[in-house]
């Protein structure tokens, strides 16, 4: 297996650190628009090679694939670049993995009730071409989407006979401080992506509405707040509806009545996002500032701390998981939370990367190893739900980061 890693930022850097301990691949070409950043990440292992790439240009991706005889393209850049990287991999005859999907576009007339272009629509539209070519595009294989999608497959196969709701619930008790020990606002993940998913209309799936847009519909951002009690000491966190790929993926392969995604953002984060939107600073459309064309969202992301650098000043744990309700295999009502918790102190000591980017990066490494060994295989545009969950979860534990199950009151 010869892998092209597109993006050497926080998640890409963690990816190289995790993969360096495994032996399932021949080489990884670590590529970034910033060659110095690629070289820094590539220094983690002698099997790595650094290269410069323009992720906005499909031909740049394809050319690098051909130059290095790449078999698998791993997309670790912001989802705005998904389609060029996706198309470049296909043009070069390589398989493809990403941790998000092609971007959505709100409905022009009813954005908070009807779907416009949904997450992943562009990729699923060309699924027949990938399948006909015998190529695999494994989409949404980060932590979220990704691990909760694996949990959905596991729950359907081993825990439930009927599923009412597949409810992804993510939360954390992370705190970032400045040099003086004061708590500061510093997102632990790409601010560009966070703005995109949090300010877009959240999507919900209900089978009962399948006659309208396949069962998918939208609500206003931050709707339906609920308090969810997260395990391993994180505790109660208020979670709200957020646009996310799981809701678009799970119902394609797992039978359920409803699918949701709620994220524990916190009051401060929600206030910041609302202010950015009010001021137009969430916009990706370029504006002229003293003769220079800039995107307001790019400026916001640039002035905040790089998520890859906040690890030494971060404390706490992050939890990704899936709350499943329905009927258990024994015919009784069941409510189960399948989860994966990473402590920042552990990930920093063990890998030198903060917990959020580490938790995101470990899942595609596991998936690539399963593809390399043949435990997973397929063709077309597929989500993690399309594969057997047991090999994945077993291997995740082998990476030193086990998952857990918590039974809740039905």
What is the tens place of the pLDDT at every residue in 307-329?
767 777 789 999 999 999 999 99
CA distance between the termini of the chain: 45
Poorest-pLDDT segment among 56-70, 151-165, 297-311, 386-400: 297-311
Predicted confidence (pLDDT) at residue 138 exceeds the cutoff of 90: yes
Q: Residue 145 and residue 124: Cα distance in Å, rounded?
A: 16
- HEC string of the chain equals CEEEEECCCHHHHHHHHHHCCCCCCCEEEEEECCHHHHHHHHCCCCCEEEEECCCCCHHHHHHHHHHCCCCEEEECCCHHHHHHHHHHHHHCCCEEEECCCCCCECCCCCCCCCCCECCCHHHHHCHHHHHHHCCEEECCCCCCCCHHHHHHHHHHHHHEEEEEEEEEEEEECCEEECCCCCECCCCCCCHHHHHHHHHCCCEEEEHHHCCCHHHEEECCCCCCCEEEEECCCCEEEEEEECCCHHHHHHHHHCCCCEEEEEECCCHHHHHHHHHHHHHCCCCCCCEEECCEEECHHHHHHHHCCCHHHCHHHEECEEEEEEEEEEEECCCCEEEEEEEEEEEHHHHHHHHCCCHHHHHHHHHHHHHHHHHHHCCCCCCEEECHHHCCHHHHHHHHHHCCCCCEEEECCC
Predicted confidence (pLDDT) at residue 233 exceeds the cutoff of 90: yes
Predicted confidence (pLDDT) at residue 305 exceeds the cutoff of 80: no
**Which numeric CATH code is attached to 147-355?**
3.30.360.10
pLDDT-based confidence at 391, cuts 50/70/90? very high
Q: Which two tokens stand for residue 210?
A: 């399948």
Q: Which fold has domain 2-98?
A: Rossmann fold (3.40.50)
What residue ranges do the domains of the chain occupy? 2-98, 147-355
pLDDT tens digits, 11-33? 999 999 999 999 999 999 999 99
Q: Residue 272 and residue 259: Cα distance in Å, rounded?
A: 27
pLDDT score recorded for residue 327: 98
Cβ neighbour number for residue 141 with a 10 Å cutoff: 27
C-alpha to C-alpha distances, 270 to 82, 221, 241, nearest whole angstrom: 26, 10, 12
pLDDT score recorded for residue 368: 98
Q: Residue 233 and residue 343: Cα distance in Å, rounded?
A: 11
pLDDT-based confidence at 258, cuts 50/70/90? very high
pLDDT-based confidence at 182, cuts 50/70/90? confident
Mean pLDDT on 287-307 = 84
pLDDT tens digits, 199-219? 889 999 999 998 888 999 999
Cis peptide before 145 (omega within 30 of 0): yes
Predicted confidence (pLDDT) at residue 188 exceeds the cutoff of 70: no
Q: Residue 98 and residue 73: Cα distance in Å, rounded?
A: 8
Predicted confidence (pLDDT) at residue 189 exceeds the cutoff of 70: no
Predicted confidence (pLDDT) at residue 267 exceeds the cutoff of 80: no
> 17-22 long-range CB contacts below 8 Å, 24 or more apart?
17/44, 17/351, 17/352, 17/353, 17/361, 18/351, 18/358, 18/361, 18/362, 18/365, 18/399, 19/45, 19/365, 19/368, 20/44, 20/45, 20/47, 20/48, 22/365, 22/369
pLDDT tens digits, 326-382? 999 999 999 999 999 999 999 999 999 999 999 999 999 999 999 999 999 999 999
Q: Which two tokens stand for residue 69?
A: 């005889």
Predicted confidence (pLDDT) at residue 184 exceeds the cutoff of 80: no
pLDDT score recorded for residue 186: 65
pLDDT score recorded for residue 179: 78
**Percentage of the chain lying above the pLDDT 70 cut:** 98
pLDDT-based confidence at 46, cuts 50/70/90? very high
Exposure string for 355-388, b = 16+ CB within 10 A, e = fewer: bbbbbbbbbbbbbbbbbbeebbebebbbbbbbbe
Q: Which two tokens stand for residue 96?
A: 């493809």
- Mean pLDDT computed over every residue of the chain: 93
Predicted confidence (pLDDT) at residue 384 exceeds the cutoff of 80: yes
pLDDT tens digits, 160-179? 999 999 999 999 998 888 87
pLDDT score recorded for residue 297: 87
């Amino acid at each position: 297996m010869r892998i092209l890693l597109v993006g050497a930022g926080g998640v890409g850097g963690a990816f190289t650190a995790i993969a360096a301990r495994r032996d399932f691949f021949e080489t990884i070409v670590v590529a970034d628009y910033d060659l110095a950043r690629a070289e820094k990440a590539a220094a983690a292992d002698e099997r790595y090679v650094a290269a410069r790439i323009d992720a906005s240009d499909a031909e740049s991706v394809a050319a690098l694939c051909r130059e290095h005889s790449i078999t698998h393209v791993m997309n670790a850049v912001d989802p705005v670049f998904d389609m060029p990287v996706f198309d470049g991999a296909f043009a070069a005859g390589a398989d493809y993995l990403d941790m998000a999907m092609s971007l959505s576009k709100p409905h022009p007339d009813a954005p908070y009730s009807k779907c416009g272009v949904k997450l992943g629509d562009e990729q699923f539209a060309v699924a027949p071409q990938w399948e006909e070519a015998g190529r695999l595009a494994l989409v949404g294989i980060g932590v979220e989407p990704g691990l909760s999608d694996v949990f959905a497959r596991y729950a359907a196969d081993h825990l439930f006979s009927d599923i009412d709701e597949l409810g992804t619930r993510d939360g954390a008790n992370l705190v970032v401080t400045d040099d003086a020990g004061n708590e500061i606002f510093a997102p632990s993940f790409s601010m560009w992506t966070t703005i995109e998913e949090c300010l877009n209309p959240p999507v919900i799936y209900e089978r009962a509405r399948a006659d309208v847009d396949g069962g998918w519909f939208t609500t206003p951002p931050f709707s339906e707040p609920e308090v969810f009690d997260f395990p391993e000491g994180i505790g109660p966190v208020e979670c709200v509806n957020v646009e996310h790929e799981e809701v678009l993926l799970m119902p394609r392969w797992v039978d359920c009545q409803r699918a949701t995604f709620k994220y524990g953002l916190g009051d401060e984060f929600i206030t910041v996002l609302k202010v950015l939107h009010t001021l137009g600073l969430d916009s990706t459309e370029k504006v002229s500032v003293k003769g220079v064309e800039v995107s307001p969202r790019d400026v916001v992301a640039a002035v905040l701390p790089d998520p890859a650098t906040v690890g030494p000043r971060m404390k706490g744990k992050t939890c990704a998981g899936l709350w499943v309700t329905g009927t258990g295999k024994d015919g009784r009502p069941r409510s189960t939370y399948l989860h994966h918790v990473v402590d920042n102190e552990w990930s920093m000591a063990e890998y030198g990367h903060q917990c959020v980017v580490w938790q995101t990066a470990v899942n595609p490494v596991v998936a690539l190893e399963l593809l390399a060994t043949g435990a997973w295989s397929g063709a077309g545009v597929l989500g993690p739900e399309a594969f057997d969950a047991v090999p994945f979860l077993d291997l995740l534990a082998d990476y030193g980061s086990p998952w857990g199950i918590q039974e809740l009151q039905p």
